[in-house]
Amino acid sequence: MKSSVRVPRNIPTFPYCLEKVTDLSDDLRGLIGDAIDQEEIFEAIFVVPPEKYLSGWLTHHYLPEHALLFTPRGVIHVQGPLSKDQPGGVTYLSAENILFIKLTLCLLYARLEIVGQGKDAATQIFIEYNNVCHHLLETPLRKLIQKTWGTATYASGGSQDANQWSHVDQLPIKFWNRLKRYALQQEESLLGFVFQPEVFKRQLGLFRRKIIPNTLLVVTDKQIFLIQEELGSATAPYGWLFTFCPIEHINRVEIMPYNELQMLQIVLAREKIQKTLRVLLENQAAQVWGALYCQTYGSDHFFSCFDK
């Protein structure tokens, strides 16, 4: 079903940054009003104008104007009204309560999802925007990722970090580049990684369907993160999915049988909420990654079918 909402032609659709909250539009400024401390310091303000985005081959959806406001303690999302019956709202997540951050980049499209513990329940911040302007979001997003780490850390030792980098060149050039360019932070040490090549399954003896995308699983002294190609998309070779999980919120890690493959489950928890991230792997990749995880972080919260 097509949206009946039209984007005003006189409003540009490229995201932009502002220096002050008072420069926000009247709609957004009115929503954020009493939700913030008047003396709050903002490290960055990223504004996304109203825009239509494809939902499928023949459908699309509309998102009103919204903005991300990065503070020293976390991030605020304010979204304008979608319609008369759907007023806008304000969502806040402190960095210490963020369970994971997902970033999707594909050609001109970008999507950011931040999930964590809100005031009384699980809270999600979700934005879509034009990837042409992602560079405006890079620095504040990197800072936010670092703030999610909290106090948890695992000493790597310079030799171990250097040894891991000696193997990075064995990765496909696209993943090598994404690891250095987008994922790994300057303030963390690489402790190890496992690369899972894409896997196809034959259907009707003729056609092949991709069931596992190219996936890189990385462990550092601060977090676990995944770099994946998109699955089931014609633009998969051009799309990237980054998932960042701070060690501090990892409740347990499980590897369970899934048909002829293995399902890796990373359970993240904060107070009363839990979220599970699932990654499909071949048997060998699952075993290697399980051994790497236990060697790095210990086996107290690790459960695997290989141990039975």
Same structural domain for residues 121 and 220? no
Same structural domain for residues 59 and 187? no
Same structural domain for residues 61 and 174? no
Last residue of a domain, one of 78, 112, 141: 141
pLDDT digit string (tens) for 78-128?
Answer: 999 887 777 889 999 999 999 999 999 988 899 999 999 988 789 999 999
Same structural domain for residues 212 and 101? no
Question: pTM higher than 0.75, yes or no?
Answer: yes
Last residue of a domain, one of 110, 141, 172: 141
- Look at the chain and report how many structural domains it folds into: 2
Task: Classify residue 27: in a domain, yes or no.
Answer: yes
Last residue of a domain, one of 112, 141, 170: 141
Owning domain of residue 275:
158-229+241-307
Residues above pLDDT 90, as percent of the chain:
55
Same structural domain for residues 99 and 72? yes
Same structural domain for residues 185 and 107? no
Q: Please tell me the predicted confidence (pLDDT) of residue 13.
A: 78
Question: Does the structure show a pLDDT above 70 at 169?
Answer: yes
Same structural domain for residues 169 and 302? yes
Same structural domain for residues 134 and 181? no
Task: Classify residue 183: in a domain, yes or no.
Answer: yes
Task: Classify residue 8: in a domain, yes or no.
Answer: no
pLDDT category, 158, cuts 50, 70, 90? Answer: very low
Same structural domain for residues 89 and 177? no
Q: Please tell me the predicted confidence (pLDDT) of residue 166.
A: 67
Same structural domain for residues 103 and 206? no
Question: Does the structure show a pLDDT above 70 at 306?
Answer: no
Task: Classify residue 201: in a domain, yes or no.
Answer: yes
Task: Classify residue 11: in a domain, yes or no.
Answer: no
The mean pLDDT of 185-212, rounded to a whole number, is 87
Question: Does the structure show a pLDDT above 60 at 242?
Answer: yes
Question: Does the structure show a pLDDT above 80 at 212?
Answer: yes
Q: Are 255 and 285 in contact (CB under 8 A)?
A: no
Q: 3-state SS string over the chain?
A: CCCCCCCCCCCCCCCEEECCHHHCCHHHHHHHHHHCCCCCCCCEEEEECCEEEECCCCCEEEECCEEEEECCCEEEEEECCCECCECCEEEEEEHHHEEEEEEEEECCEEEEEEEEECCCCEEEEEEEEEHHHCHHHHHHHHHHHHHCCCCCCCCCCHHHHHHHHHHHCCCCHHHHHHHHHHHCCCCCCEEEEEEECCEEEEECCCEEEEEECCEEEEEECCEEEEEEECCCCCCHHHEEEEEEEEHHHEEEEEEEEECCEEEEEEEEEECCEEEEEEEEECHHHHHHHHHHHHHHHCCCCEEEHHHC
pLDDT category, 162, cuts 50, 70, 90? Answer: low
Q: Please tell me the predicted confidence (pLDDT) of residue 195.
A: 96
Which CATH number belongs to the domain containing residue 50 in this structure? 2.30.29.30
Q: Please tell me the predicted confidence (pLDDT) of residue 1.
A: 40
Same structural domain for residues 54 and 136? yes
Same structural domain for residues 199 and 280? yes
Q: Please tell me the predicted confidence (pLDDT) of residue 2.
A: 44
Task: Classify residue 235: in a domain, yes or no.
Answer: no
